[in-house]
Every structure is written in structure tokens, then in C-alpha cells.
Structure 1
Amino acid sequence: MANRPDTHARSMLPIPDRPKFGHTTYDAKDPETNFPPIEPLLPPEGAPNVLIVLLDDVGFGASTAFGGPCATPNAEKLAAGGLSYNRFHTTALCAPTRAAMLSGRNHHSVAMGSITETATSAPGNSSVRPNTKAPLAMTLKLNGYSTAQFGKCHEVPVWQSSPLGPFDAWPSAGGGFETFYGFIGGENNQWDPALYNGTTPVEPPATPEEGYHLTEDLADHAVNWIRQQKSLMPDRPFFAYFAPGATHAPHHVPEEWPEKYAGQFDDGWDALREATFARQKDLGIIPADAQLTPRPDEITSWDDMPEEMKPILARQMEVYAGFLEHTDHHVGRVIDAIDELGVLDNTIIYYIVGDNGASAEGTMNGAFNEMANFNGMAALETPEFLASKMDEFGTPSAYNHYSVGWAWAMCTPFQWTKQVASHWGGTRNGTIVHWPDGIEEKGGLRTQFTHCIDVAPTILEAAGLPEPTMVNGVQQSPIEGTSMLYTFNEEASPERHDLQYFEMFGNRGIYDQGWSAVTKHKTPWIMVGGDMPAFDDDVWELYDSTSDYSQAVDLSKEHPELLAKLQRKWLIEATKFNVLPMDDRTAERLEPKMAGRPTLVHGDTQKFYPGMGRLSENSVVSIKNKSFSVTAEVDVPAAGIDGVIIAQGGRFGGWAVYAKDGLLKFVYNVLGIEEFIATSDSAVPEGTHQVRAEFAYDGGGLGKGGDVTLYCDGDAIGTGRIGGTQPMVFSADETTDIGYESGTPVGSEYDLVSSKFSGKIHWVQIDLGSDTHDHLIDPEDRHRIAMAQQ
């Protein structure tokens, strides 16, 4: 039976209601009464379901589907029934890749030139997506698709990330997803995540002790949503976007998964890279004449690493490998659910194995708690300390990251890693497309140049939907990607996406008809010291991508005229897509006023009320490196008070004012390594009282200690000593809560259940002292922290 013609005017969204005029009767009982039945809006007949899977911080050479050491059987199974793309590209960073993929436009075009935390007022870096560039989910929803996102967002401007929004950039509002379950920041604790259901904060349904893990939870929600969607709306196709926080740090995984890799990485990253390269050639996933690029001087060889560190480093990689395999397992559960519903054949699946190259943000030694390095306190994590914590890597008591050396090996056979947009190590990610109804070949390889901005136009073409010219009353700018549909059944078809710029923090490059010109401006893991060169002093390289798959042979000296031509083309593309002005500033981009972006926090006083919670660190005045006081008005019952009055941070760093057995307390947790507690000498009596904790900072630098005095109605009732503090950041995902604590507890004397305050809180106020030492923070340190949380 031929498809019925589609009569909807789909280029304007929402599709305008067009009433049908004709004969109208006076009495509905009149036999001539005839109105067409109400029909729900659906996409064109035959439009496929869509599942996009986007993993986090996975290099090209990590998964077994692309020759790596980390088992990904579900990716391999999908590839065997579909197509593998070995020249698919991302932007080199997570938030820009996500914004670009979901809009079909380059990341600077949708204002995500960097991450939200370093947004400026420049059009290409504001983090505010123009309303002229509607996301794919919105287009599909307005054409009759059911839409849902599960997992990581990281596209919300930081000043819109509080519980009050505004929610224009949140997935379930302006993002076009009818359902959202996940997190909005750059990373999350896999065991104790800060979750949202739509725009409402929610707690995980179970504890780590009960077997909770974020990836499994996300898969549960995705599976349940897909089943319900097909049960209630079998004729309506779905668009599901599954974006787990894995395998971004912290590398958290149930203990049985790393154990199967015991001993497999004892030979180190240099040997692993050689082995991966050989497997990639055996699989045919890279050309037979591809070359393995050499190790940069900035990365220490395995042989030159201290012997006492090698077992620790090997364990880091075992945990990561288990983490990636665990992630693939739960991706497989989502795919299996689609198969069990009988709709797999008409579901187009994109399995994008990484939103950028592997993360080189873990230092050469890696980290047990990455917050130590972010606070400039990595020296606390001595080899002896790391050795004592090896068995805890991956568990709820760790916040671990692996070494730069492993990140480099995970990007085999390319140069560099995440953040380095100039070279394929930062931007080339293995990608699999599976669609039995639309792809004839099973297990094929596609080598055409493709990019994450090509996903949206591919899905629109597959669904028979036009690119909209008007969305919600706003005229749309053209999609900038190129549909990949032509590659599905035409293996040898010439590539159509043959011009593409790259830029991230001044690392930049251009691909043009088989040639790539690139220049690296900044090394990700060199965070402090030295001045970056002027952009015009950066040294450009030239590669023939038709014969040099891995960018191994620099031809800039042989073809200076061609290099100059490509440099000029890069500048033209950069001008066209809002890349200019390039911005490698650090401190200026982290200070909202200097960067030109709004901020939620003003002044040196902030007042809170009971029930407030899930306040991100940039939503609360900073008490770091200065004196401060916390005052609260509370009602104390006859039985006395217990629980949290205010808490910021969690198990891996933070502070809290709380009560225990009627006594007022102040706790400061330094990186989960040291805990300092000040306790009142007497209980707070029954009735209404003002309690206060005053912290007198020692001064003389950053991260110093200080004295604590506890008060009740102005009378001192206790003192204590804080031996040290965290100068830069408490957490990437833990928040500030009033009257209870979410996430993980700051203090060891209470848990999440007992954290609920037993009295009544009227208000809580933080007042900052004038003795701030924040001016001593190196601008590069501030930038390092922002970059590490994405």
C-alpha cells in the first residue's frame, strides 16, 4: 500500500492549525453533519524511531569496537549489524559537542565555543543558544515525535542553573525533550548523583550500599520510558537521547567489573598503545598504511615513571576499563528493550563512543580524589597515600581519575587528547550507526569525513522531515551539518562534508577536501606556569588526510603555499561561524563581571530559608580563603536539636553547621582526608534562638586554617580549631542545602537520614569577612578548575 501524501506544512513549527471549511449543519443530529475525525499529529508515515547514545570522555582507541582494550560487546554487536565510521568528529570538549550535535550547527554558532562555566558575552561563547537555531528534539517534538533525554546535559548557562531557572535551556523546557531524567552539570558522582526529573531535584532511588549506580539508573529510566511509549503510543515514533555521565571522572564502577582486567595493564601505556594499534589494523578499522604517532615530550614514558607508582597506575586503568565495559552493558540493556518490543529494525541508532578524546585532566600520577589537584593540593596524594587507597579506586569512598598517560593511549593512533581540537586525538570518535530498515550492509565500514553536526540533518532526512524555516515564531538559520544518509548504502560515495573548522582554547584546525592544517596552542594538563604564545606565533602543521590517516607526517615545509591557503580558509570559516575573537584568557573568563555574563551571587551577604537545597557552588557566596560567619534563627524543641542547619559540599570536601545530641557543631572536611570539628560546651536550650558559627581565617595565604567560635544569642558556647581549608573548590556536583543534606554527607557524625534538622529553621545567613585572600589565587588555577569540571 502506497504511503499517504503528507499534507502538513512542516517547515513552520508548530504546524499551523488549518480549519477545514465546508457545509455546517444547524443540528448535530442532521444526517448531513460530517466533520473529519481528530487525528493526532504524527511524522510522515514510516519515520523511524531514533536512539542517540553519547558516551563521555572516551578516546578513539578505548573500546574493543575500535581496537581498544575495554570490552564493549554491545557496541561490537551493533556494528556487526550496521556501519562503523572511522572518520567521525566531535569538537574536543563535551558541552560544545552536545550543543552542536543536538542543533546541527557548529558549536560557536550555538554560542558554546567552550563550556558554560567560561562563557563570555561574545556571540560564539555566551553559552546562550540563539532562538534562531532550534534543537533537533524541538523539531521532532513539534512534528509528532515523543522525546526524552536521560543523563548528562551541561548546556545550561551557569546563571540559569539554580532551582529557579529560568529553564529555557533545560532539556525538558527549551530543549524540546518532553521527559528529562539526569543531571545538568559537567560531571557527577556515579554513586551519589545530584539528579533532576524535568526541572525538579530528586534523590536517587537507592543507596550505593543497596547497589545503586547512576548508569544503571539512567538505563532503567530509558528502558521504562521506551516500553511505556510503545505501549501507549505504538504508532508514534520516539526520539531517545541516552547520555550517561560515563566514562567521565570520577571513574566509579561496581567492584566486579575492574577485576576481570587485573594485570592487563601492567606493561604500561606505551605497550598498550602498540597493542591497540596492531588490533586496529587487524580489524581493518584503520587503514593498513596508517602510522602510529609518537609520544609527545610532555608525556612521561612508562619506563620513566617511578616503580612504586606503576601498580597504582595500572589499577587506575583497570578501573577505567571496567567502567567503560559496565557502561556498554547498560547501553545494551536499552538496545535490548527496543529489540524486545519488535521495533529495532525501524530504529536508527547512533552509538557515538565519546563526546571528545580521552580526558588528560588527571595529571601524570592520576588522582584518588581529583579535587585535591583542582585545589592545588595534589602533594597530599603521595605515592604512599595512593598505594594505601588502591583498593578503594572506583568505590563510593573515591573520586578517582586516571593518568595522562592512559588518556594518550586511549586516543590511539592519534596525537593528543580531549581539549586539543587541532588534532584527531581530541576530535575523532568511533561511531556506529544501526538501522536495519535503512542500511543494507551489515558490518560495513564507512570512511567519509563526518562530524557531530551531521547527526541532526541525517535524522531529519531519514524521517522525511524538512529543515524548519520557522520555529515558535522565529525564523531559523540554516542547519550547518550535512546529512550522512547518502553513506548508508553507498560505501564508495564521495564525501559531502568536505570543509570543517575546529577550535578550542586557541587549539585550531581545518579540514578541506582531504587536507588538514592544524596548530596546537595549549596543552590540557599543563595548567600553571609560562605564558601562552600569541596566536600569530603558533606553529601550523599540514597533513594529507587521504594518505595519512593519523596525522603522522607533517608536510608544512613541503607545501607552504597550500598551508597558507588553508590558514586563510580557517580564518574565513572562523569569521562565518562566530569563532572570533579567539579567547585563551583564564581569570577574566571565570570572573562573571569581566566575562560579561550574569551572576546569581552579589555582595558579601546571602540569606537562605528552610527547604532550600541543590544550590550549586556558583549559586552561593564563596567562604573560601576568608573569615566568615553563619547565623541561623532556630526553634529548639524540648527534646533538643539534631541535624544539619546548613551544609555545603560533601564527602570529598565541604563544611556544615549542624547539631548532635543538642550540641551545636561546625565541621570542615578537607578533601575527605582530614575532618575538623568544633563543638559547643553546652546544649542549645529549648525555645527560639540565634545560633552562630564564626570562622576567623588565619590569613597569610590560601587554604589556611582558622579558629571557630560557636555562639547562642551572642554568648560564646564553644570553640575549635580548623587545621586547613580548601582554597578553590569543594565539588563539581555536591550542593548547598538548608535543613538537610543531599548527595553525600560532609561530616562523619551524621548520614543523609539523620541530617534532617529536628527543630525549625526560620532563616540562615552567611556573612563574609573583609580579609579575603582570593587575590592570591593564580588565574591559571581558577581556569584549571573550570576546565576539569566538564
Structure 2
Amino acid sequence: MIPDRHARAMLPIPDIQAPGLTTYDAKDPATSFLPIEPLLPPEGAPNVLIVLLDDVGFGASSAFGGPCDTPNADKLAAGGLKYNRFHTTALCAPTRQAMLTGRNHHSVGMGSITETATSAPGNSSVRPNTKAPLAMTLKLNGYSTAQFGKCHEVPVWQSSPMGPFDAWPSAGGGFETFYGFIGGENNQWEPALYDGTTPVEPPATPEEGYHLTEDLADRAVSWIRTQKALMPDRPFFAYFAPGATHAPHHVPQEWADKYKGKFADGWDAQREKTFARQKELGVIPAGTELTPRHAEIPAWADMPAELKPVLEREMEVYAGFLEHTDYHVGRVIDAIEDLGVLDNTIIYYIIGDNGASAEGTMNGAFNEMANFNGMAALETPEFMRSKIDEFGSPTSYNHYAVGWAWAMNAPFQWTKQVASHWGGTRNGTIVHWPNGIEDKGGLRTQFTHCIDVAPTILEAAGLPEPTVVNGVQQSPIEGTSMLYSFSQAAAAERHDLQYFEMFGNRGVYFKGLSAVTKHRTPWQMVGGTVPAFDDDVWELYNGAVDYSQARNLAAEQPDKLHELQRLWLIEAVKYNVLPIDDRTAERLNAEMAGRPTLIRGNSQLFYSGMGRLSENSVISIKNKSFSVTAEIDVPEAGAEGVVIAQGGRFGGWAFYFSAGKAKFVYNVLGIHSFTTSADAPLQAGKHQARMEFAYDGGGLAKGGDVTLYYDGVLAGTGRVGATQPLIFSADETTDVGFESGTAVSPDYAPQTSRFSGKIHWVQIDTGEDDHDHLIDGDERLRIAMARQ
């Protein structure tokens, strides 16, 4: 093997020209220069594919004994290794940032999701430049790098079309190519997509057979083929992170129908079946106990009989969604095999970035935004039954019930968000690398964590951990390479100390023992009470003989429990976990949380063509009075189309024209829609059209009166019966002069939503209305200047 001549600890690798003879004439026979050689990693460095699924519990996939068929995961495991003690952080963005940097999630500012970031270093959502991501390190060492799918690591105030793009995958993230979405979830049928940092529309419609996971796989396959066709000597790092199987659970009907009737016995019985299958496969020790159902989770037998068909369908849809996802993961793996490079490709197939999600309420949800707004009661059993055939379709934004999430985490306690117990943090993981793994179909039981992925890949590639990246001295990687375990099934684990924390749920693992405390319940989105941190009840488990955390030893070994509690506190101080922050609604308020915001004051000005503005990029009109004023030119044929719209089919509002008349619609969760129309069309010419909403007050989610004006003259009145108090959407945006994604109103479609006239400007004002019904130019200039 040729020695590597590069000093790779400092990145970019400095360009050093060797001294030598410089001739005067290039034709002089003594003229000699080394040929230009592209930078490559050390000889033999493998290709890398990381597949990270979303919201999949340990007991969901067939690879780890679950009811959802994942034949490609099964096939990969047969040729590689299964890790049955691999851990995540219990939540998506923290797991992703930790995995991509090799550091604990609080170390890289991602103590929770970006939407709840605070000014505390461990929760800021800002990755310090002293902790460069793996993709950057690999790119600067000569790898080709690409990401496809979900990126939830961009601070919310940097997610607008203006960036800054330092935290976006294709800028500061180190990926040369990015195709996917920014945020926690996306509509699988009609997603908001980016190519790099440029918003793009899906290449087809749901009616034409479009689905996001298939699109992402198409892109990944094309990129890998192109990379090997043009740069066969250069290894690639591909990160495939579909939004699946995060809610909404969207999948073509035929995939869901494959599971018809398979979940009729309910979640209690399903856990028993999964548990038996896990023992049969050997993915859990023979002496493992199945943990009992907590009182907070209802028994299947106690669920209303009229709701059970809906509950069954929720799980059928989810199972089909996971199998559909595995199918498209298989397409990416097949493309690598077809190119003849599978043997020297390390594949991490991480089946979930946390445990299964219990954010769908006890009954599940047809539109999960109802629960996120504390309005789940709107989805009555009668309503749910009326929608049973639409679950998983483009008209749904669905999630399954808490009981199914619990079942999908068998044999463990609890779910996503609960960082204390393995149900939230233990995810089945497969590693495949024919050139580096001889024990085909082997099982590995060493404790491992998502922060171990980056150092493993660096060691396998023969690359040092960088000390300087882009001129900034780096802090050490906090993970431990797993490479030792590839060839040593019985090797002592090297990652023997790890803390966990999420929203006050916390725990620590140390040499087989785990001390944990569950602080809050994930499906209690709003309201409810939580204990003081010092009043939390801690539990103690011995993983050497109790794989599932079924036998609490706290009463028997109080001294050992106290020792681990102190160890948790030491680790918490070391990695910026303190102060522990269990606030929820307060952290959604940027001012209270102490994070930057693009929006200041009580007014915001927009211009035609502005679009794909996230909810954090637009002034909030929730729970208050507001007005929308637009200066427009109406053509002779009359005005048609959207002036401004926020949200979409599953919740939002729009000010638009139909049949020449101004209209305002407020769509509550896709369940109730309130439309106010002007009495007459607006004539051709330049005009101001205005909508005023007078909030009733007296609490959250109240209704209000709507008044429409043409040039300050009353044009129509109406009524909104209720509003959404907290969030319109996790993926739909605000657009001016058109609407992307799905439509707030059935009066138009996104493809036909473009405004027929000219929009000069649109202004939203909130709070007390101290304006006339017209806004003059001086007023607009004052507001615009105040926002600079």
C-alpha cells in the first residue's frame, strides 16, 4: 500500500508546493513538475451509505422481530451485523446532529428540536464551529458527499429563503449535494422540497403516482450512479434520510392493504407476538422479560368498539409505510450492488432516529395538527370513522394511537421523547461491509450510540480525527469507534458511559447499569403538570441480566442508584445539559426562549413572488386581531387567485379572489372551514383590498368577525367560528401571489392559484388596529425601515 503523503489533521489540507528547480523556458529539458492529482482519501477507503429512518421503534421491523415486513433490512443483516444495543437520543434533530458530528446532542446545541431552541448553549440549535460534521471532514479528505431527505438541524431563524445557510446540508453541513426538506416532517404526497438551498416543486403530483420516498430514492440512485461513472476512484458518502416513517403516515393504498386484518387483536396482543418473535430470532436474550403496559396507556380491550376499526387501519397504514420505505432503501442498496462496489461500502441501516412516536393521541389522528394545537377533541370517533378509507391518502395527515407506538417499542417501556427508558432510545441497527465484516449474520451486543458512527467511519477510512477545520481548532469527538466489534463478537464494550436527557426525561448508562427517571409524558402536548426535577422518581436497572429494564433495583441498591445519579449530573455539566428545561409552550415563543427571530414588531410587509416562508418567518396572527392589506392591479377580466396564503389543506388561512370577489378563508385543521366573501367583484384598476379579523378574545383558539374592504369601503362581512392557537403546519408555508403545497381552500388548486393581476405589496398588521382602512406610502416606508 502506498503511504499517504497528506497531513490530514488540518482541514482543508494545506497546499504545499515542493521546492525545486525553476527553469526560465518551459521547453528546457530540466523543466519538471509533479502532475496535478485530485485529492483522494487513503487507499482502500470505503464508500459510505448511512440510512436513517424516522420514528421507528425497536419492535417494528421484521429484522428485529416486528410485524412490519422489511425484507431489505433482513437481507442486509444476513450479510452483516445486527446491533441490539444501539442507542439514539429519543428525538429526531438531536439524534441527527449527534450522529453527523460524533458529539453528544447538547454538545452541539441540539438539546431538543430547533423549534424549541433557547439561548442556553446546550439548547441553542447552533452547532459550534469547533465541532465540524462528518460530511465536512470526509469532503475535505476527498470524498464525494450527498444527502437525500430530511434535515431538521437548521435553526428556525435561518430557515427562510435568505438563510444564512451555514447550517444547511449543502453549505456548512459538508454535503456537496442536497435534495430534501428542512424541518421535522413533510407531506409525503405534496412536500416542500429544496435542491441545495433553492425551493423546488415535486416532479409529479399524487395523481401521477408521486411519493416523496420514491423521489428521494430516485435521486440517490441517480447521484450514486453518476458519481461512480465520473469518479470511480473516489469514494462516496451518501446519507439517505427519508421522512418516513414520521407522521404523516402516507403510503399508496396497496401497501397498507397488505396488512388488512393483521392487527385485529390490538396492541397488547401485538407486543406479545413481537416479543415471542424477537426471542425466536435471537435479537433479545432468552431471559428477557416483556415490560408491562403502564396505566397511562389504555388496554386494547378498553378502547371503544366503534373506534377499533379505525385503530386497526392506523396500524395497517403504518406497517405499509414502513415496508414501502424499506423497499426504496433496497433500491438504493441494489444500485450500489449493480455498480460492483457493495463489497467496499459500509452501510449503516439505522432503523429509527428514536423510538416509535406517541404524539398521535390515545385515538390516533386523521390530522395530527389537531393534537399539536390542543384540539384533538375535534376528531370525534364519528369523524374518525367517516375518514377510515382516507387514512394514508393525500387528504390525510394521519398518525397512529399511543398504544401502537408502545407496541412498536417492544419489549421496552415508553416511547419517543422519553430519553430515560430504552423504548425511547434503543433502535435496531444493521452494519454491512463485506470487505470488513466476516461474521455474516452476526449479532453484536456491545453498548453503542449514534455518536459512535462518525468515529467508526473515520477509522474505517484510515482518516484521523481533525484537529483544525477551516481554521478553527476542533474539540474532540465524543463517540467511540465501533470498528473493534466488527471482528470481535465477544469484545468488551468500549462505550461504557452515556447520559440521556430530553425535556427532563433523563438517564445514565454505566458499565451495564442504568439509572433513569421519566419526567413527562410525550402525548401531553399542552396542559398537565410535571413534578419538580428533585421530586422525580429514579429507577435502577442491571442490563447484564435485565435487557428490557423490567426489574427496578432502586429499593434494593439505593447506594448504587445515588452513585449513578451523581454520575448523570457530572456528565450533564460536562456536556451542557444544564439547566434542564422541561418547558413546552414557553419555548415556542422566541422572545421568552431567547432565540433570534426574523419578525419584530406588529407589522410585516411582503412582495409578490415571495414564497416558501416557514411559519417562523412570518408574523404570528394567532389568538389576536389582525388585518391583511394588499395593493393590487386588477385586470379587465377580473381578479382571480391567491393574494397571500399561509398553511394548507390541513390548517391555515388565505386572502384570495374568486369570480372577481375578494375572499378570506380560515381553515381549522381541515375539519372546519369559514369563508367570507365580498358582495361584489372588484373592478379593473389599481386598488387596495383589505381584510380585518376582530378576535373575540377570552382565551386561545377563539373565533372572530371578518370585514372586507375595497379602497376603505365596506365590501363584505363574515364570521370565523374558531382558530388554531399554536401552529398551522410543520411543512406548509406562506406564499404571496400563489400557493405552494396544498391549498387552504377548495376554491382553487396550487397549480391554478397564481394571482391574475399584479400585486404591489401585501401587509399584515396585528394587535390593536390603529390604522385607517387605507395604508399610505409613508406608513409602509416607516414600517419597512423599522424592520431593517
TM > 0.5: yes
CA contact (8 A) 1:706 1:723 kept: yes
1:50 maps to a residue whose letter is: V
- 1:431 aligns with one of 419, 429, 443: 429
2 CA distance for matches of 1:384 and 1:640? 42
- Greater shift after overlay, 490-499 or 700-709? 700-709
Asked whether 1:49 is paired with 2:26, we answer: no
Match of 2:149 in 1: 151
What TM-score do the two structures reach when normalised by structure 1? Answer: 0.96
Cα deviation, residue 638, structure 1: 1.6
What's the CA shift for 1:528?
Answer: 4.2
Matched to 2:450, the amino acid is: C
Match of 1:395 in 2: 393
Structure 2 residue 200 is the aligned partner of structure 1 residue 202: yes
Q: Using the alignment, how far apart are the partners of 1:58 and 1:295 within structure 2? A: 19
Q: What is the distance in 1 between the residues matched to 2:267 and 2:84?
A: 22
Judged with a 3 Å threshold, the aligned counterparts in structure 2 of structure 1 residues 595 and 704 are, in CA distance, closer, same or farther, namely: closer
Alignment counterpart, residue 507 of structure 1, candidates 499, 502, 505:
505
Deviations 1:202-239 (A, max 9, x none): 11111111111111111111111101111111110000
Q: Tell me which of 700, 703, 706 is aligned to 1:702.
A: 700
- Offset of residue 529 of structure 1: 4.3
Q: What are the Cα deviations for residues 754-773 of structure 1, in whole angstroms up to 9, with x where unaligned?
A: 1011111110001113289x
- Give 1:277's match in structure 2, choosing from 257, 269, 275: 275
1:366 equivalent to 2:350? Answer no
Which residue of structure 1 lines up, in the alignment, with residue 133 of structure 2?
135
Q: CA deviation at 1:705?
A: 2.5
Aligned to 1:727: 725
Larger deviation, residues 369-378 vs 745-754: 369-378
Give runs of aligned pairs for residues 492-531 of structure 1, distance below 5 A: 492-531=490-529
**Residues 626, 771 of structure 1: 8 Å contact kept:** no
Alignment partner, residue 294 of structure 2: 296
2:748 is matched with which residue: 744, 747, 750?
Answer: 750
Q: Distance in 1 between matches of 2:202 and 2:475?
A: 40
1:183-582 matches, cutoff 5 A: 183-582=181-580
Letter in 2 for 1:592: A
What's the counterpart of residue 83 of structure 2? Answer: 85
Matches within 5 A, 1:26-45: 26-45=24-43
Could you tell me whether the CA contact under 8 Å between 1:506 and 1:521 is conserved in 2?
A: yes
Residues of 2 paired with 1:600 and 1:77: CA distance? 48
Give the secondary structure class of the aligned counterpart of 2:315: helix
* 2:24 partner letter: Y
Give the drift of 1:33. Answer: 1.0
Once the two structures are superposed, residues 633-680 of structure 1 have per-residue CA deviations (whole angstroms, 9 ceiling, x without a partner) of 111222222111100110011111111222221112121122222222
C-alpha displacement of 1:377: 2.1
Determine the C-alpha separation between the residues in 2 that align with 1:268 and 1:672: 28
Aligned partners of 2:361 and 2:376 also within 8 Å: no
Report the residue type matching 1:149 in the other structure.
Q
Q: Quote the offset at 1:521 in angstroms.
A: 1.0
Q: Secondary structure at the match of 1:311?
A: helix
Alpha-carbon distance in structure 1 between the residues aligned to 2:131 and 2:47: 23
Q: Deviations over 1:328-362 (max 9, x none)?
A: 00000100010111100100000000000000111
State the identity %: 80
CA distance in 2, matches of 1:706, 1:106: 46
Q: Distance in 1 between matches of 2:161 and 2:526?
A: 34
Aligned residue-pair number: 770
Aligned-partner Cα distance in 2 for 1:541–1:666 = 54
Residues 66-145 of structure 1: pairs in structure 2 closer than 5 A: 66-145=64-143
Counterpart in the other structure of 1:173: 171
Q: Distance in 2 between matches of 1:385 and 1:625?
A: 26
The change in CA–CA distance for 1:590 and 1:528 in structure 2 (over 3 A counts) is closer
- Asked if structure 1 preserves the Cα contact closer than 8 Å seen for 2:526 and 2:585, the reply is no
Deviates more, 1:692-701 or 1:182-191: 692-701
Q: CA deviation at 1:586?
A: 2.8
**Which one of the candidate residues 643, 656, 661 is aligned to 2:654?**
656
Q: Which amino acid aligns with 2:464?
A: P
Equivalent position SS for 2:203: coil
- The CA distance in 2 between the partners of 1:562 and 1:367, in whole Å, is 42
- Is 519-528 or 694-703 further displaced after alignment? 694-703
Q: Is the 8 A contact 2:666 2:720 kept in 1?
A: yes
Instruction: Give the letter aligned to residue 262 of structure 1.
Output: K
What amino acid does structure 1 have at the position aligned with 2:260? A
Whole-angstrom distance in 1 between the partners of 2:24 and 2:401: 79
Amino acid at match of 1:633: E
C-alpha distance after superposition, 1:6-28 (max 9, x if no partner): 01010000000001110111111
Is the 1:119–1:126 Cα contact (8 Å) retained in structure 2?
Answer: yes
Residue 682 of structure 1 deviates from its aligned partner by 2.1
Q: Shift of residue 530 of structure 1? A: 4.2
2:10 aligned residue: 12
> Which deviates the most, 119-128 or 620-629?
620-629
Distance 2:656 2:568 in 1: 57
Question: Hey, what's the Cα distance between the residues in 2 that align with 1:4 and 1:147?
Answer: 24
Does the CA contact (< 8 Å) of 2:374 and 2:526 recur in 1?
Answer: no
**TM-score, length-normalised on structure 2?**
0.97
Q: 1:259 to 1:587 in 2, by over 3 A?
A: closer
Is there any run of 5+ residues in structure 2 with no aligned partner, and where? 771-788
Distance 2:270 2:232 in 1: 47
Q: d(CA) in 1 for partners of 2:693 and 2:571?
A: 53
Deviations 1:438-484 (A, max 9, x none): 10111000000000000000000000000000000000000000000
Tell me the SS of whatever aligns to 2:179: strand
Corresponding residue for 2:781?
none
Alignment of 1:757-768 (within 5 A): 757-768=755-766
CA RMSD in angstroms, aligned pairs only: 1.2
SS in 2 for 1:124: helix
Write the distance in 2 (CA, Å) between the matches of 1:345 and 1:55.
23
Q: Distance in 2 between the 1:754 and 1:677 partners?
A: 19
- The letter for the 1-side match of 2:492 is P
SS, match of residue 514 in structure 2: strand
Could you tell me how far apart the structure 2 residues matched to 1:530 and 1:390 are? Answer: 30
Query: Residues of 2 paired with 1:619 and 1:233: CA distance?
Result: 40
**Most deviating of 617-626 and 295-304:** 617-626
**Alpha-carbon separation, structure 1, partners of 2:745 and 2:656:** 9
* Per-residue deviation, 1:743: 0.3
Spell out, residue by residue over 1:357-403, the C-alpha distance to the aligned partner (whole angstroms, 9 max, x if none).
Answer: 00011111001111122222222211111011000000000111000
Note the alpha carbon deviations across 1:31-65, whole angstroms, 9 max, x for none. 11110000000000100000000000000000000
8 Å contact kept, 1:188–1:245: yes
Q: Which stretch shifts more, 579-588 or 339-348? A: 579-588
Secondary structure class of the residue paired with 2:498: strand
Question: Could you list the per-position Cα deviations for residues 106-133 of structure 1 after superposition, in whole angstroms to 9, with x for gaps in the alignment?
Answer: 0011111111111111111111000000
Checking the alignment, whether the CA contact within 8 Å between 2:499 and 2:507 is kept in structure 1 is yes
1:627–1:770 contact (8 Å) kept in structure 2: yes
Mapped contact 2:371–2:525 kept (Cα < 8 A): no
Q: Which residue of 2 aligns with 1:780?
A: none
2:23 to 22, 25, 38: 25
Contact 1:669 1:675 in 2 (8 A): yes
**Aligned equivalents of 2:744, 2:413: Cα separation in 1:** 41
Distance 1:652 1:569 in 2: 46
